[in-house]
Homo-oligomer: A and B are copies of this chain.
Amino acid sequence: MNQSPWQPITPAKPARAAREPLTRERIVDTALHLLVEQGYEAVSMRKVAQALGTGPASLYAHVANKKELDQLMLDRAAADMKLPDADPERWQDQLKEAMYEVLRVMRAYPGLARAAIGQVPLGEYAMLSTERMLAILKAGGVPDQAAAWAVDLIPLFITATAFEESVQGAADFAPEDLEGFVEQLRSYFGSLDPARFPLTIALAGAMTTGASGDERFDFGARVIIAGLASMVPETDA
């Protein structure tokens, strides 16, 4: 403003020096903020850059690519997870608590599951969660190999659940239409050919139960925990 407009001596001193510099941390912060605010679709390199007042190319000095940014967001989110200390007396309850806690964080960052699925979580916080889950399993007497695979299976289940929810959440219909959709589904099941789909028809009600809420997730958690419990070698007690 106070400079001659016809002779741009150092063109406006872009006020960039005044602004705090771009860092990996600020980028992840902004990305997560965008994720919480507007969902996973909104987290594009362009939108993150725009939110930071710059162009997309600038991000690549701090982040290798979008996938790495996803991983960084994931690990930042993993820091929110508070898993219980292992208590041999209640390992099954604790395992379920832990599963709900992971799901809670996944839900807090809708769409993050999309980044998490199929990626080995190597971030520090994610690995701390794994460590705690291993402790619970070992406290319960689950054999080493089973425990090792379980800490792969359990996040897989939770992530897939969260992914599913995020897909449905990102779909066109609003959550309040969900009940109507389920109703539609149930009547569709009921209208099938009874000769070919007898069980689907008979169980139409059961299959469409628990579309919202945690009933389905809780069932999966129970199945997994019971399955793991069956692998604990019998000792005394």
Interface residues of A (CB under 8 A from B): 117-120, 122, 127-128, 130-131, 134-135, 138, 144-153, 156-157, 159-161, 163-168, 185, 188, 192, 196-200, 202-203, 206-207, 209-210, 215-216, 219-220, 222-231
Give the CA-CA distance A226 to B224 in the complex, in Å: 8
Contacts A138-B199, A148-B209, A156-B157 hold; do A119 and B167 have CB atoms under 8 A apart? Answer: yes
Q: Please tell me if the beta carbons of B153 and A219 are within 8 angstroms of each other in the complex.
A: yes
Contact A153 B200 (CB under 8 A): no
Once the chains bind, are B160 and A219 in contact (CB under 8 Å)? no
Distance of A147 Cα from B199 Cα, bound (Å): 10
| B230 touching A197, Cβ below 8 Å | no
Nearest-Cβ distance from residue A83 to partner chain B, whole angstroms: 13
Q: How far is the CB of A170 from chain B (nearest CB, A)?
A: 9
Question: A33 → chain B, closest Cβ, in Å?
Answer: 25
Which residue of the partner chain, among B134, B202, B224, contacts A227 with CB atoms under 8 Å?
B224
Instruction: Tell whether, in the assembled complex, residue B223 and residue A150 are in contact, meaning their CB atoms are under 8 Å apart.
Output: yes
- From known contacts A144-B206, A226-B231, infer whether A117 and B151 are also in contact, taking CB-CB under 8 Å: no
Residues of B within 8 A of A226 (CB): 226-227, 230-231
State how many angstroms separate the Cβ of A82 from the closest Cβ of chain B.
16
CB pairs A–B below 8 angstroms (5 shown)? A119-B167, A131-B199, A147-B206, A148-B206, A160-B160
